[in-house]
Amino acid sequence: MSTAGVRDRTLPTWFFHNPLRRWFKKPGRLIDFCPPRSGDVVADLGAGGGFFLAELSRRVGSAGRIYAVDIDDGALSLAQRVATTLEVTDRVEFIHSSAASVPSIPSGGVDYILSNGLLCCLIDKERAMEEMWRILKPGGRALVTFVTIGPRFTARGRALRTSERRFRELLSRRSWEVIPGKAKPFSRRFILRKFG
């Protein structure tokens, strides 16, 4: 499948802190499924406008650190405002980059990754999974969620769509320990742990 000219998906800024989103998807409830620990270094890949920033910063505490990564600089500006309001700017590094290439995060430098809905917004899913593997410490964990539906009638729709089968193919490239999570009608949730 050719992805020439197909770009990653970004979301409109009104989406990030929409009260309906918070009502349908409470940040704490998702994080409870696989929480980071106090003092952890966290990478929020596809951090958007900082939807999970309050919950992540509360969980890792003052000894923890968060990398907030997003390709959309407008979304990162919103996340920076959230961090300022929470008074956690000293613990958060904002990285304007695709999750498929985050060279500023050191190899083996992260304890925990949050990848919420990221894979269905990325064209280069293979590199994103390789970056997750690279930046995680041995034994590090990743909470990965993705939507399994999407249009198949355009090159962009086919490139962005993430089925569970496609996700399993991505996982097979490395020695991930996979802990299946919830399978909802149109989404999946997994905990991954890095071996090696």
CATH number of domain containing 187: 3.40.50.150
Q: List the alpha helices (DSSP H) in the chain.
A: 13-16, 19-24, 27-33, 53-60, 73-86, 125-135, 155-160, 164-171
**Domain ranges, residue 47:** 37-194
Please report whether residue 31 resides in a domain: no
Q: pLDDT digits over 63-90, tens only?
A: 999 999 999 888 899 999 999 999 999 9
6 lies in some domain? no
Structural domains of the chain, count: 1
Own/partner pairs for 162-167, CB < 8 Å, 24+ apart?
A: 162/119, 162/120, 162/125, 164/188, 166/125, 167/119
Q: What is the pTM of this model?
A: 0.84
Is 72 inside any structural domain? yes
Neighbour-count burial for 66-76, b at 16+ CB within 10 Å, e otherwise: bbbbbbbeebb
Please write the tens of the pLDDT for every residue from 97-131: 999 999 999 999 999 999 998 887 788 889 999 99
Does residue 23 fall inside a structural domain?
no
Confirm whether 55 is domain-assigned: yes
Query: CA 46 to CA 42: how far, in whole Å?
Result: 12
